[in-house]
Amino acid sequence: MIDFQEKSTIPEIRIKNFDDKNPSFVISDLKDLYDKHWQIINNPHRICFYQVIIITKGNGTFWLDSNQYAYQPKSLFAISKGRVESFELGKDTTGYVLLFSEEFLCKYPGDMEWINNLLLFNYSTEPPLINVPDLEFPDFLGLMKKIKLEYDMDEDFVRNEIILNMIKTFLLLAERKMRNKIQDYKSEICDVSCLMKFKIELEKNYKSSRSVSFYSNLLCITPRKLNQITLNYWGKSTKHVIEERVLLETKRLLVHTNQTVKEIGNTLGFDDPTNFNKFFKKYIQRTPAEFRNISKKKYLHR
């Protein structure tokens, strides 16, 4: 059960909360991690790392930013840092969970750009769930087991480098599945690069600016060009993408904290509570207070 009355912020969880000896990388049997840290995993929390979960057996429910996903055997989740999640692990569920920080993965020039360009961790495309076909699942599972085997060995001068390269291989295999999943992928490489830079700037600035021209100026392109790119790639106008990001954070704070509606509006750049209510109701068809009440009941009785 979630206690809404005592939380003024969403708890932030770091890798060291699971293993203080390895603050930048952990791989674990999913059930073992859940049994040891169920109080963290079972309650909503914001992750400060990248996460990959692969299910080998069982069924259950995964909550991500107030959206519910059902998992089954051969499911693969890829979750980017900053997202709010909770996991209801089914009784017979088995699998692996891989946690890594940017510091661990990004060792060489271009690595940060590489991970930012992965559709796999892009919240604006598809739900972060891939159902891996039977014929391909052994490749994913075998690679995950090799990473775990290397992780369990005594550390030497090449262990982390080997793990790093296996993780990148795993992510590329998953990226291939994600891109195959998106049938209308049409963007040129330069547009993809621009889009991912927009995503980074949006993450930095969505609380202070909802202006399309603000972001197009940062990217040194026209608002029209940025709008064309987001429409082609995501099927959404730039304005809609920006406002979706603000709505996402609004929902997180309404559901997982006890901040007042006025406080949340101020946090997200709305000086006038009336404008904040109008903005939210335009998309959700409910006021923030109505949404909070409904969401509390849903989470408390899940």
Contacts of 78 (CB under 8 A, 6+ apart): 50, 51, 52, 120, 121, 128, 130, 171, 174, 178
Contacts of 294 (CB under 8 A, 6+ apart): 286
* CA-CA-CA-CA torsion sign (128, 2, 300, 9): negative
For position 184, what pLDDT does the model report? Answer: 45
Element containing residue 45 per DSSP (H, E) = strand 45-47
Domains and their CATH numbers in the chain: 12-181 (2.60.120.280), 189-300 (1.10.10.60)
Tens digits of pLDDT across the chain (302 residues):
344 344 668 889 999 999 888 889 999 999 999 889 988 888 889 999 999 999 999 988 888 887 788 888 999 999 988 888 888 787 889 999 999 998 898 888 888 878 877 878 876 555 678 889 999 999 999 999 999 999 998 888 899 899 999 999 999 999 888 877 665 444 455 677 788 889 889 999 999 999 999 999 999 999 999 998 888 777 789 999 999 999 999 999 998 888 999 999 999 999 999 999 999 999 999 999 999 988 877 665 55
Running DSSP on this structure, what letter comes out for residue 290?
A: H
In angstroms, rounded to a whole number, what is the distance separating the alpha carbons of residues 287 and 207? Answer: 19
For position 119, what pLDDT does the model report? Answer: 79
Helices (H) and strands (E) in the chain, counts: 12, 10
For position 120, what pLDDT does the model report? Answer: 85
